[in-house]
Structure 1
Amino acid sequence: MSVSTTGQEPTPFISLDGRSLTTEDLVALGNGHFKIKLTPEAEAGVKQARAVIEKIIKEKKVVYGINTGFGKFASTIIPNTKLKELQENLIRSHAAGVGSPLSPERTRMLLALRINVLSKGHSGVSLEILHQMIEAFNASCLSLVPEKGTVGASGDLAPLSHLTLGLMGEGEMWSPETGWGDAKAVLEAHGLKPIVLGPKEGLALNNGTQLITSLGAEAVERALAIARQADIIAAFTLQVLKGTNKAFDSDIHMARPHPGQRMVAWRFSSVLDSDVFSSEITERNKPHERVQDAYTLRCCPQVHGVANDTIAFVKGILTTELNSATDNPLVFAKDDKIVSGGNFHGEYPAKVLDFLAIGVHELASISERRIERLCNPSLSELPAFLVSGGGLNSGFMIAHCTAAALVSENKVLCHPSSVDSLSTSAATEDHVSMGGWSARKALQVVEHVEQVLAIELLAACQALEFHRPEKATAPLEAVYGLVRSVVRPWDQDRVMFTDIEAAHKLLREEKVWEAVYPYVEEYSKKHPPPYAPGTH
Structure 2
Amino acid sequence: MTVTIEPTGVAPADVLAVARGAAKVVLAPTTVAAMTASRSIVDGIEAAGRPVYGVSTGFGALANTFVAPERRAELQHALIRSHAAGVGAAMPREVVRAMMLLRVRSLALGHSGVRPLVAEALVDLLNHDVTPWVPEHGSLGASGDLAPLAHCALVLLGEGWVLGPAGERRPAADALREAGLAPVELAAKEGLALINGTDGMLGMLLLAVHDAAHLFTMADVTAALAIEAMLGSERPFRPELHAIRPHPGQGVSAANIHRLLQDSAVMDSHRDDLAHAVQDAYSMRCAPQVAGAARDTLDFVRTVAGRELVSVVDNPVVLPDGRVESTGNFHGAPLGFAADYLAIAAAEVGAIAERRVDRLLDVTRSRDLPAFLSPDAGVNSGLMIAQYTAAGIVAENRRLAAPASVDSLPTSGMQEDHVSMGWAATKKLRTVLENLTSLLAVELLAAVRGLQLRAPLTPSPAGRAAIAALGSVAGRPGPDVFLAPLMEAARAVVSSPELRTTIEAEIGPLP
Task: Bin the TM-score by the shorter chain.
Answer: over 0.9
Q: CA deviation at 1:18?
A: 5.1
Match of 2:269 in 1: 284
Which is further off, 402-411 or 476-485? 476-485
1:59-78 alignment runs, 5 A limit: 59-78=48-67
Please say if residues 150 and 156 of structure 1, whose CA atoms lie closer than 8 Å, have aligned partners that are also in contact.
yes
Contact 2:7 2:30 in 1 (8 A): no
SS in 2 for 1:143: coil
Letter in 1 for 2:237: F
Count of aligned residue pairs for this structure pair:
508
- Give the alignment's Cα RMSD to 1 decimal: 1.5
- Aligned partner of 1:378 among 344, 361, 364: 364
- Alignment match of 2:172 (pick from 169, 179, 183): 183
Partner of 1:528: none
Residue-by-residue CA offset, 1:434-468 (whole Å, 9 max, x unaligned): 11110111111111111011000000001111111
Gaps of 5+ in 2: none
| 1:500-515 equivalence runs, <5 A | 500-515=487-502
- Calculate the TM-score normalised by the size of structure 1: 0.92
Offset, 1:175:
5.0
Q: Which residues in structure 2 correspond to 1:74-89 (within 5 Å)?
A: 74-89=63-78
Distance in 2 (CA, whole Å) between partners of 1:71 and 1:458 is 53
* Equivalent residue runs for 1:114-513 within 5 Å: 114-174=103-163, 176=165, 180-273=169-262, 278-288=263-273, 289-333=276-320, 335-380=321-366, 381-513=368-500
User: Is residue 229–residue 510 contact of structure 1 (8 Å, CA) maintained in 2?
Assistant: no
**CA-to-aligned-CA distance 1:71-108 (integer Å, 9 cap, x gap):** 11111111110011000011111111111011222211
Identity %: 38
Alpha-carbon distance, 1:248 to partner: 0.9
Which runs of no fewer than 5 residues in structure 1 stay unpaired?
1-11, 525-532
Give the AA of the match of 1:222. D
Where 2:4 maps in the other structure, the secondary structure is: strand
Asked whether the equivalents of residues 328 and 340 of structure 1 are also in contact (C-alpha less than 8 Å), the reply is yes
Q: CA deviation at 1:517?
A: 1.7
The whole-number CA distance in structure 2 between the counterparts of 1:168 and 1:123 is 19
- One-letter amino acid matched to 2:357: I
Greater shift in the superposed pair: 171-180 or 257-266 = 171-180
In 2, Cα distance between the equivalents of 1:170 and 1:256?
A: 58
Provide the rounded CA distance (Å) in 2 between the counterparts of 1:520 and 1:198. Answer: 59
Measure, in 2, the Cα distance between the counterparts of 1:375 and 1:167: 55
Report if the CA contact (8 A) 2:96-2:134 is conserved. yes
Q: Structure 2 CA distance, aligned partners of 1:455 and 1:179?
A: 32
**Partner of residue 5, structure 1:** none
Q: Is the 8 A contact 2:9 2:106 kept in 1?
A: no
Q: How much has 1:286 moved relative to structure 2?
A: 2.1
| 1:110 aligned onto 2:99 | yes
Mapped to 1, the partners of 2:211 and 2:455 lie a distance apart of: 34
CA–CA distance in 2 between the matches of 1:21 and 1:430?
A: 32
Deviation at 1:488, TM superposition (A): 2.2
| Shift of residue 321, structure 1, vs aligned partner | 1.4
Contact 2:16 2:98 (8 Å CA) reproduced: yes
Deviation at 1:292, TM superposition (A): 2.0
Question: What letter corresponds to residue 451 of structure 2 in structure 1?
Answer: L
Quote the offset at 1:178 in angstroms: 11
- Aligned counterparts of 2:91 and 2:295: Cα–Cα separation in 1: 28
* CA distances 1:318-357 after superposition (whole Å, capped 9, x unpaired): 1221332211001122x12211110000101011100010
Which digits, 9 at most, give the CA deviation of each residue in 1:349-404, with x for residues without a partner? Answer: 01110001001111110000000011001111201000111111111000000000
Q: Could you say what secondary structure the match of 1:227 adopts? A: helix
AA of the residue aligned to 1:249: R
Distance in 1, matches of 2:13 and 2:474, equals: 30
The 1:314–1:178 alpha-carbon spacing in structure 2 relative to 1, beyond 3 Å, is: closer
Deviations 1:243-279 (A, max 9, x none): 1111011111110100000000111122112xxxx21
Distance 2:165 2:422 in 1: 30
Match of 1:27 among 16, 20, 25: 16
1:6 maps to none
Mapped partners of 2:305, 2:176: distance in 1: 32
Structure-2 residue corresponding to 1:9: none
